[in-house]
A and B are shown apart, each in its own frame.
Chain A
């Protein structure tokens, strides 16, 4: 007797979030109604997307292996962005405003905004923009950035349970989507989504960041949190039906196994982490090394088509 496989039913798909101005290039993430790549059980109308990450200042601390592919472009974020498109085929970029952090020189909004506008003009790509990670600075800079890029439909981050009001209000006013971050905690992830949507922000424009960790540093916890959230969303929990974004590059290239291990181990580390997150349900991966991004994009293509041809 043939074994009948049990197929899960889905009460509601993950929200689809669009990033980018409608008449330019738009990237769509989410929309799936099955666990990752289980295409017999449901749909994945949008393949997961890889974004390349650039910084607003020269990444002097990056390891050599990560600097090599970009060369002197690392000194100029706009050139760097253009290189990501021309040489590495990026579809979407993530700009981390690290230079606005007090430890990196407290760069002002006046310096950041023209750079972001040039990137949009030169590349035509949708942007993910994340603050430098200092709450006070982010709450000063991000509203100005949001206003200056009104209508560009960026994905702005990050909002947390204890610091979400400023970013939510500004993203709401200027028509951007938002990243809601939680510390590997599904309860807080759900609560943050509720807090943001209580301000009148459309929950369909929230992307969740469950926190990223690297291979070897507790990645399994993130995996299980994502899996739990996804299963809840599929049985109808609308406050967890958001796509996931994972900042794989910035996490991986901070660990010694990637930084201090020659030319290729870091790349492989980034690939292994990214693929694991894809299998956990990641919709958007922010990556750093173009070779790793290329390999992961190829993986996505194969997984969306039922694996390599035999």
Chain B
């Protein structure tokens, strides 16, 4: 599994404050802690309250790269913010994200081609998040088709079926899981898949339990990456175990430790 650490996001109060005040040690600790806990990539977002997101992303990328050598997932609605991050990224980056809207795809795939990056594609468009797997598949197929036209390898896509909170849209859980399975069959080589895991438990009680249960179910459906909190050890243990049961790693008595030694 590709683990994308979600914690460096200006939406969180402490992080937003650290960005505004340029507190490098706060951000660097978050980066190091997540990588140590098993993050293979780090999502970074300046958050909705940033006054100057272009300058903020520049500072974030430089600050994080001072301590962590993992690919960065540049998370923004603004193309100029993403491009600033791409310009500075030391490792092959991921753009988070494009929707299936034509204008957005043209911009994002253009950037992806120019900077040779991977791309997260959300199975949604201007009209919103689909409420069924058929529409999700349609939108995902549109993303794959457009990516191919841009000369992007399908393995460099992470298709995201868009997870909705279980307490709001309970029927969507299974639709999302089936979409993960469907997406893998869209093309060859199969595209990657991802989810913003914490969304599933937004506003609910027992959030960690809901998160790790859903992650295990998604892995069983063929999920290849997730944006999550790697500092949640029980979540990471569940992920490693689900990977194991999916026959992706060979069992040994110390299988949790063995995974972490990789």
Contacts and interface: CB of A to CB of B under 8 A. Distances in A.
Contacts of A254: none
Interface stretch (B75-83, B167-175, B250-258): B250-258
Interface stretch (A44-52, A77-85, A121-129, A185-193): A185-193
Contact of B252 (A191, A198, A236): A191
B51 interface: no
B126 interface: no
B261 interface: yes
Interface string A194-215: 1101100000000000000000
A237 B249 contact: yes
B262 A194 contact: no
Contacts of A187: 250-253
Contacts of B258: 190, 194, 237, 239
A194 B250 contact: no
A238 B252 contact: no
Contact of B261 (A186, A229, A238): A238
A236 B250 CA distance: 11
Interface in B230-262: 249-254, 257-258, 261-262
B254 A229 contact: no
Interface residues of B, number: 10
A216 to B, nearest CB: 28
A232 B244 CA distance: 12
A228 interface: yes
Interface residues of A, number: 17
A153 B73 CA distance: 45
B250 A232 contact: yes
B160 to A, nearest CB: 24
A248 interface: no
A197 B261 CA distance: 10
A237 B250 contact: yes
B253 A240 contact: no
Contact of B250 (A195, A198, A229): A229
Listed residue (A198, A238, A239) with the most chain B CB atoms within 10 angstroms of its CB:
A239
Interface string B3-33: 0000000000000000000000000000000
A238 B262 CA distance: 6
A6 to B, nearest CB: 11
Contacts of A240: 250
A236 B258 CA distance: 12
Contacts of B257: 194, 198
Instruction: Tell me what chain A mostly uses at the interface: helix, strand, loop, or mixed.
Output: helix
Contacts of B252: 187-188, 190-191, 194, 239
A135 B262 CA distance: 31
B205 to A, nearest CB: 37
Nearest to A194: B254
Contacts of A238: 261-262
Contact of B262 (A195, A197, A229, A237): A237
B221 to A, nearest CB: 20
B251 A239 contact: no
A228 B250 contact: yes
Interface in A155-195: 186-188, 190-191, 194-195
Contacts of B254: 191, 194-195
A99 to B, nearest CB: 35
A12 to B, nearest CB: 10
Contacts of A237: 249-250, 258, 262
Nearest to B250: A232
A229 B258 CA distance: 14
Contacts of B249: 232, 237
B126 to A, nearest CB: 38
B102 to A, nearest CB: 33
A191 B250 contact: no
Which residue, of A194, A197, A232, A236, has the highest number of chain B Cβ atoms within 10 A?
A: A194
Nearest to A232: B250
Contacts of B253: 187, 191
B262 A236 contact: yes
B201 to A, nearest CB: 30
A229 B252 CA distance: 12
Interface of B: 249-254, 257-258, 261-262
Interface of A: 186-188, 190-191, 194-195, 197-198, 228-229, 232, 236-240
Given A187-B250, A239-B252, A240-B250, 8 more contacts: A188-B252, A191-B252, A194-B261, A197-B261, A228-B250, A236-B262, A237-B262, A239-B258
Name the 4 nearest CB pairs between A and B, nearest first.
A190-B252, A191-B252, A194-B254, A187-B251
28 contacts: A186-B250, A187-B250, A187-B251, A187-B252, A190-B250, A190-B251, A190-B252, A190-B258, A191-B252, A191-B253, A191-B254, A194-B252, A194-B254, A194-B257, A194-B261, A195-B254, A197-B261, A228-B250, A229-B250, A236-B262, A237-B249, A237-B258, A237-B262, A238-B262, A239-B252, A239-B258, A239-B261, A240-B250
